[in-house]
Structure 1
Amino acid sequence: MSLHRILSWTPAAVVFDCDGTLMDTERHWVDARQRACDDVGLRLTAGFAERAKGLHYTECGQLMADEGGRPELGRDLAQRLLHHFLALVSDHPVTMPGARELVEATAAFAPLAVASNCPREVVESCLGTAGLLPHFRAVVVPDGTARPKPHPDLYRTAARHCGADPADTLAVEDTHCGILAATRAGMRVLGVGPWPGEETIALTDLWVEALDDPRISGWAAERAPLRTATSLPASASPPDEAVLPAPTR
């Protein structure tokens, strides 16, 4: 990792992952997968949660079906998975430690976007409930032209909506899948969460256990505030043209 590539740098834009980075929803995916499998009588094998982390929900549903020996149930499991997840997350939207503070601090000096494999309704509902949605210029999710992570499409599109080159953009991610997408897009990466192993760490410029790490909060507080005509006021809603058509996770 190269600490100076983050801590001595002011990015032209910051793009956040949502699920597990800004919002504490990973536990809901775990519960939703179990409920979907219970619906059809499948059992998940050991370590499935780690293998599925960060996957688009349709890919996760097919992986569940394949590993359960019922590949024909992939589409059905994906829909069940999404149904259960939406019910769980709507009842318990919780921000990750330090997420609110970092979003507010970075919004003072750079345009922000979200790049997520989650369904649009989940991302916007969670961030709206948390009071964070107005800080973002765009919510970018998979659609007919932008493929899900680990493809770089979402991050490249998010940088474009922020008016920044990917090379001048910081990605904030918590999964190997998302980090691959960001690095393939040409961004510097701040990784967050429990230690993920050397393979993932090697792809990041800095890894922290949580977004309230003093190095990150201090870094954000020291950046020169951005004051341009294109800045998004904190009270404004994200412009419609900056938000891609509705997807699915």
Structure 2
Amino acid sequence: MNEPPLAAVLWDMDGTLVDTESYWMAAETALVESFGGTWSHEQALQLVGAGLEDSASVFQAEGVRMGVRDIVDHLTDDVMRQLATTGVPFRPGARELLADLRANGVKTALVTMSLSRMAQAVVDLIDFDAFDVVVAGDDATRPKPYPDAYLQACELLGVKPGDAVAIEDSSTGVRAAVASGASVIGVPLMVSLTGAGAHVLWDTLDGRTVDDLAAFHQSHRTRLRAGAATAIEENAR
């Protein structure tokens, strides 16, 4: 039986589409230090892919005397200022792959835990119509690693999660995408994704095309179907 063709590609933003993790880390460090604390690179790595409100609670525990919403807005504003200065720092191959998807009529969604105003700022800086749907942290019913944002994106696109590929750079994001039922590609940046559950790991998106995504999706769905058939046979014995 032929598997359904690739219907959509769901992109994480920070660290996957754009290399902004260092921007977030700089903003976090400045915020914690402004209240007399210290913030290490190792601590920052623990928050890669996390929801902003969850991260805000961590900063409060580190001595930041601000409300959760104020922390989220402060960090978002800081990162947006950096983006306005530098432009969109695409990860290698990301812009080209996104453009290839659009040229071939594959639906696309941006699925991020950043606030919608920051996600929209990034989208607005891209020099072509990049996404059909944007689901941001303040849109999702629950943050990653829950699958809600990915499920919401698929619903808005009108596709089944099993007919979509998700691309992620963090273990938190990978877990969310896998739980949604999508076929998941991990492209690590700041943190290792070994053992995180991605269905395949790619070192880079550089040189990748829509054909590579479609081939991965087809092979993963075929493996799933074969595994399910084997399980049924074993249970019938």
Structure 1 residue matching 2:142: 3-state secondary structure: coil
1:117 pairs, out of 113, 116, 126, with: 113
Deviations 1:142-196 (CA, angstroms, capped at 9, x unpaired)? 3366222111111001111221101111101111111111011111101112471
Is this contact kept in 1: 2:116–2:139, CA < 8 A? no
Identity level (%): 25
How far is 1:89 from its partner? 2.3
Question: In angstroms, what is the RMSD of aligned CA positions?
Answer: 2.4
Partner of 2:153: 158
Residue of structure 2 equivalent to 1:103: 98
- Partner of 1:206 in structure 2? 200
Q: Which runs of 4+ in 1 moved over 4 A?
A: 71-74, 220-223
Residue 25 of structure 1 is matched in structure 2 by: 20
Alignment partner of 1:179 is 2:171: no
Report how many residues are paired.
209
Indicate how the Cα distance of structure 1 residues 144 and 161 shifts in structure 2: closer, same or farther if over 3 A, else same: closer
Gaps (5+ residues) in structure 2? 216-237
Counterpart residue type for residue 208 of structure 1? W
Shift of 1:209: 1.6
CA distance in 1, matches of 2:100, 2:82: 29
Say whether 1:130 aligns with 2:126.
yes
Q: What amino acid maps onto 1:209 in structure 2?
A: D
Return the structure number with greater relative CO, CA threshold 8 A, min gap 6: 1
TM norm structure 2: 0.79
Counterpart CA distance in 1 for 2:193 and 2:14 is 20
- Give a deviation string over 1:114-167, Cα, whole Å, max 9, x none: 1110111211211221224x2311101133662221111110011112211011
Letter in 1 for 2:209: S
Residue identity matched to 2:211: W
Q: Secondary structure at the match of 1:136?
A: coil
Q: Is the 8 A contact 1:14 1:171 kept in 2?
A: yes
1:190 partnered with 2:182: no
Provide structure 1 residue ranges, at least 5 long, that are not aligned to the other structure. 1-7, 224-249
> TM-score when scaled to structure 1?
0.75
In structure 1, C-alpha distance between the alignment counterparts of 2:193 and 2:19, rounded to whole Å: 21
Q: Distance in 2 between matches of 1:220 and 1:10?
A: 13
Partner of 2:143 in structure 1? 148
Q: Residue 91 of structure 2: SS of its match in structure 1?
A: coil
Q: 2:112·2:135 contact (CA, 8 Å) conserved in 1?
A: yes
For residues 119 and 144 of structure 1, the distance between their equivalents in structure 2, rounded to whole angstroms, comes to: 8
Q: Report the CA distance shift for 1:161/1:46 in structure 2 as closer, same or farther (over 3 A).
A: closer
